[in-house]
Amino acid sequence: MTGDIVVAMRFLGAGLAMVGVLGAGIGIGVVAGGAVQAMGRNPEAAPIVQTNMILGIVFAESTAIYSLVVALILIFVAGSIQ
């Protein structure tokens, strides 16, 4: 019985870990919104704005990736550790 609860809790934990990507979604939206506004004001600067936008998106996404990795570890790796 305890084994089943542990497995259930692992998957529950993985699901809860993915709640962290909420912040990344909002952050990426803010970055892209700012970039699009800047490109609208000054279309000549579009390449430089785009480069920095990609950079900003990557930084904002990295915390989402951390939570994804925690979820993946819970699902795939934690079960085989005794």
Partner 1 sequence: MPLAGSEENDALTEHHAHQEKQGFFQRYKGIIILLAVILFVSFFCGFLPFGLPQILTSVGIPAVIRPDIQLPGEALTPTLFTLFGEEVKLTNTFVAVILAYIVLLIAAIVARLGLREVPSGFSHLFELLIEFLYNLSEQVVGAKFARRIFPIAATIFIFLLIANWMHFIPGYDSIGILEHPHVGAGYEVGSWNGILYMKPNPVGAESKPVEEAHPAQPAPEGEASAAEPESACGLGDRCTVVPFARAAATDINVPLGLAVISFVTIQVFGAMSLRWGYLGKFINTNGLARGGMGIMDFGVGLFELILEPVKIISLTFRLLGNIFGGGILLVVVTSLIPFLVPVGLYMFELFVGAIQAYVFAMLTLVFSAMAMAGHGGDH
Of the candidate spans 8-16, 29-37, 38-46, 71-79, the one that interacts with partner 1 by CB under 8 A turns out to be 71-79
State yes or no: residue 76 binds partner 1 (CB under 8 A). yes
DSSP secondary structure, 7-34, as one string: HHHHHHHHHHHGGGHHHHHHHHHHHHHH
What is the per-residue binding string for partner 1 in 24-63, x denoting contact by CB under 8 A?
A: ---------------------------x--xx--x--xx-
Q: Which whole-number Å values give the CA distances from 14 to 6, 39, 43, 50, 70, in the listed order?
A: 12, 39, 43, 34, 7
Least distance between partner 1 and beta carbon 2 (Å) = 15
d(CA 8, CA 82): 16
- Site residues (CB under 8 A) for partner 1? 51, 54-55, 58, 61-62, 65-66, 68-69, 72-73, 76-77, 79-80
